[in-house]
Amino acid sequence: MSISKIGSGGRDQVRSAPKRTGKGDVAPKESCSLGNVADPVARVDKLISQLQSGKVRYNPEISAKIRSEQLTLGNFPCQKYILKQPESPIDSRELPTEIVPDGEKSRYRGSITHDSKLSEKETVKDLEARAESIHDQMDSLYAQRKESLMVLMEGDNAAGKDGMIKHVFTLNPMTTNGQVAFKGASAEEREHEPNWRIMKNLAGPGQIMFHNRSHYGDVVFAAKSPEQKAQRLADIKELEYGLTMGLPMTPEGHIALPDKKGNVDPASIQRPPMRFIKVLLGVSKEEQGVRLAERLLDDSKLYKITQADLDGHAQHDTIQTDFANAMAAASTPWAPTYYLPNDTKVTGWQKMAQITDGVLADMDPQTPASKEEMTMKTRKEAAEKLLEAASQKLREG
């Protein structure tokens, strides 16, 4: 079984996944034997292991476009905030909900917090500097076009997803493919497997894209049984590994496996390698209540709230717990899940900026040189001619 593409806003569709035998979804038996592995997560783990060990071989043209080295946790900053797979289920009430600036007190008595080494003033200054650095590095990433960046944000209503994007990312429009929030599935989307609409909404080469409400909503809301949750998590893990490595993918969002000659179905899609920044925002029930109340009392924010949001407030701890367990289960060395306490927004923004800035620095995008051989002397001479021609009609004074 697999969950239809629903996401956090549409939470009621579960269906059997189509058999992976359609065009672009063929996995030739002779190229990769997964045996009779019943557990979908174990099956995907075995597939990934075979890919990492080189047992699955693509032709040279495909292989040349695949990431040359596996990502590890060493490629990701701020590891204190990475949500790792626990030995026992997570209870969100035991997770911190605030990063407290140095010299300040927590917003709510008895809350679990992280203490920042930065004062509130230093936090704002650091945020501004990192936002500028992110802007510059994204310009270089776009010019280079060898990788792309996906930012996935999850959290209960009023966790601060929109504000996080607004205050951390001030980008050149060309460097972003925008954002999408996965809610109720359309009739067309219900005809496909869950990963299909993720594949339709990815960052282009050198771009960043935001999933504000991501495919993890499928696990939390649409899956109604442990078996369905396991299948959806397996599909997500396969998708994220394939995209991270730049492997050829089927239109339905599975790794396209090669035949004996290393070729894949022509309908497969191979994109440049991708980095994932996956974030679960954590806010306390009290803070969520305050933010919902502010929306009720502010006409400009009233569109953001529904009766369902108010009804869901009572289930806040359960929803946060479900997200924490789903995203921890899919927290991997190549796409770890970050948990960011966000009762105090500015410290959450600064930490998100620090993570993004660090990931981009690890990607090390470099603005490529000119495609034409031009010496500095030639460039200066050409520039002087252009400026001289313009100056003849330049108004004085």
Write out 237-249 in H/E/C secondary structure.
HHHHHHHHHCCEE
CA trace torsion 329, 326, 246, 170 (10° rounding): -130
pLDDT for res 182: 87
Q: Are 163 and 287 in contact (CB under 8 A)?
A: no
Label residue 254 exposed, middle or buried (CB < 10 Å: 0-12, 13-18, 19+).
buried
Q: Residue 220 gets which letter from DSSP?
A: I
Q: Report d(CA 210, CA 202) in Å as an integer.
A: 9
Q: What is the pTM of this model?
A: 0.89
Q: What crossing angle do the helices spanning 120-144 and 161-168 adopt, rounded to 10°? A: 80
From 359, 353, 338, 348, select the one nearest 127 (Cα to Cα).
Answer: 353
Whole-angstrom Cα distance, residue 375 to residue 381?
10
Place of tokens 């959806």: 232
Can you give the residue ranges of every domain in the chain? 2-391
User: Which candidate, 23, 67, 55, places its Cα nearest to that of 268?
Assistant: 23
Instruction: Compute the distance between CA of residue 116 and CA of residue 100 in angstroms, rounded to an integer.
Output: 6
Instruction: Say whether 325 sits in a helix, a strand or coil.
Output: helix
Each of the 397 residues of the chain gets a pLDDT tens digit; together they read: 233 333 333 433 333 344 444 344 444 433 455 555 579 999 999 999 999 999 999 999 999 999 999 999 999 999 999 999 888 999 999 999 999 999 999 999 999 999 999 999 999 999 999 999 999 999 999 999 999 999 999 999 999 999 999 999 999 999 999 999 988 778 898 899 999 999 999 999 999 999 998 999 999 988 889 999 999 999 999 999 999 999 999 999 999 999 999 999 999 999 999 999 999 999 999 999 999 999 999 999 999 999 999 999 999 999 999 999 999 999 999 999 999 999 999 999 999 999 999 999 999 999 988 777 788 999 999 999 999 999 988 876 5
Q: Which helix (H) or strand (E) holds 100?
A: strand 98-100
Cα atoms in the 13 Å half-sphere on the side-chain side of 180 = 19
Q: Minimal CA–CA distance to 341: which of 251, 281, 278, 271?
A: 281
- Determine the CATH number of domain 2-391: 3.40.50.300
Residue 266 CA to residue 27 CA, distance in Å, equals: 13
Query: Of how many residues is the chain composed?
Result: 397
State the residue for tokens 């704002």: 124
Q: Which residues contact 172 (CB under 8 A, 6 or more apart)?
A: 135, 138, 139, 142
Could you give the CA distance from residue 234 to residue 222 in angstroms, rounded to a whole number? 15
Coil vs helix vs strand at 98:
strand
Q: What is the DSSP letter of 84?
A: P
Contact predicate 142/207, CB 8 Å: yes
Percent of the chain as helix, strand, coil, to the nearest 5: 45, 10, 45
In this structure, are residues 304 and 41 in contact, taking their beta carbons and an 8 Å threshold?
no
